[in-house]
């Protein structure tokens, strides 16, 4: 992506220390920013509250959201992919409530290639 003039940035609701741990543990080579309290995600209308019945499952699988995110709101952002041009205009926006459904990398590359 850098060959196309793009930078990949992830935004996580985790507190900064936990985001750093994720970067180090997974050997990520891109920037991960912390959006503690989902301040930015809320501005984009991407925040939802994890239902009561799913909370124990998250904890059971090792996702202790109150500890990771530094609050007990059980709020999570919907995953999204955005391409923002150097002019600040959004060139691509993709959000799906089903976290397993992600944008195909080929679509991202096609948009980036069209911007160059």
Q: Quote the CA–CA distance of 52 and 50 in Å, as a whole number.
A: 7
For position 12, what pLDDT does the model report? 94
pTM: 0.82
On whether the CB atoms of residues 78 and 48 are closer than 8 A, the answer is yes
**CATH code for the domain in which residue 37 is found:** 3.40.30.10
Confidence of residue 5 (pLDDT cuts 50, 70, 90): confident
Number of domains in the chain: 1
Containing domain of residue 43, as a range?
2-115
The token pair that represents 102 in the structure block: 């992600």
């Amino acid at each position: 992506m850098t060959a196309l003039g793009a930078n990949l940035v992830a935004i996580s609701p985790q507190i900064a220390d936990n985001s750093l741990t994720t970067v180090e543990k997974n050997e990520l080579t891109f920037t991960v920013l912390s959006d503690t309290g989902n301040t930015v995600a809320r501005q984009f209308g991407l925040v939802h509250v994890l239902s009561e019945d799913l909370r124990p499952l998250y904890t059971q699988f090792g996702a202790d959201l109150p500890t990771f995110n530094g609050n007990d709101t059980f709020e999570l952002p919907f995953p999204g992919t955005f391409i923002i041009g150097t002019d600040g205009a959004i060139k691509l926006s993709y959000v799906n409530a089903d976290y397993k459904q992600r944008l195909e990398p080929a679509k991202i590359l096609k948009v980036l290639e069209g911007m160059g």
